[in-house]
Copies of this chain bind each other. A is one copy, B any other.
Amino acid sequence: MQQLYPHTGKAHVIGITGPPGAGKSTLTDKLAKNYRQQGKTVGIVAVDPTSPFSGGAILGDRIRMNELTLDPGVFIRSMGTRGSLGGLSRKTADTVKILDASGKDVIFIETVGVGQSEVDIVKAADTTVVVLVPGLGDDIQAIKAGILEIGDIFAINKADREGVERLNTEIEMMLDLNQSSVDWRPRVFRTVASRSTGVDELIAGIDEHIDYLNRSEELSKRRIQRTKNELLALLEEQIGRHVLSKITSTGKLDAMVLSIEQREKDPYTLVSELLASFLR
């Protein structure tokens, strides 16, 4: 990663996020094909936050994208969280950097966007497309509220379904209420990814956002903020690893845990004591 780093920063990174069942994989597939037809090379990082346990879903994604996998101009990497202990957003960012350094023009990060870790993952993107779908019930309200502020572009997929007008109105209303960026008003598109409907228009919307990022100071601002977050996360992870190996190597961890479990000590006091012994 040290050697790759100087070669990064050239690709445009597009985040694709949304609730389960929104058709993110299919839409990413169609967007990737469209960019390929424009002669651009494409990387796809498909993050599956549920695979820590089984790994089963990864195969599904690979199968779904099999047309693309035959194209040497496309590189697809599926990632799960197995053993990552919360470091998934950093690993995703590293994978994006590798694809970036390898010369991919456009890189997609695709993830189910309903939890904090998924939101963190998408923060590695320059442009974030939030994919929603009509008629997902009550919790969709919560999801919409949660990912509203990370969406640069909204795609209402499966737009041939009932409820598309209502969802469109709701999103527009929320965008009106929630103007975090003065310069960019997120746009809402309708797609039916399975039939490639609306994909050209969505690509035009993404291009428009890229133009905006380049024209304004926004791209540089976003990338500096991202670098800052990545630096701090990396630092925290490395320190955590160091301390963990120290504690476990002394063999004292089990005794500590037992004394806490038996309520002889409390974890808060114990951590204060440990901190003093590790830090300058």
Contact = CB atoms under 8 A, between A and B. Distances in A.
A245 to B, nearest CB: 11
Given A52-B119, A114-B50, A236-B236, A266 B143 contact: no
Determine chain A's interface SS by DSSP, over half rule.
helix
A224 interface: yes
B115 A114 contact: yes
How many copies the complex holds: the figure is 2
Q: How large is the interface on A (under 10, 10 to 19, 20 to 34, 35 or more residues)?
A: 35 or more
Interface stretch (A30-38, A54-62, A67-75, A205-213): A54-62
A213 to B, nearest CB: 15
A9 interface: yes
Contacts of A179: none
Interface of A: 1-2, 5-6, 8-9, 19-22, 48-54, 56-57, 60, 81, 84, 86, 88, 112, 114-120, 136-143, 145-150, 178, 223-224, 227-228, 230-232, 234-236, 238-240, 242-244, 247, 253, 256-258, 260-261, 263, 266-272, 274-275, 277-280
The 4 closest A-B pairs by CB, nearest first: A50-B146, A115-B115, A20-B139, A57-B142
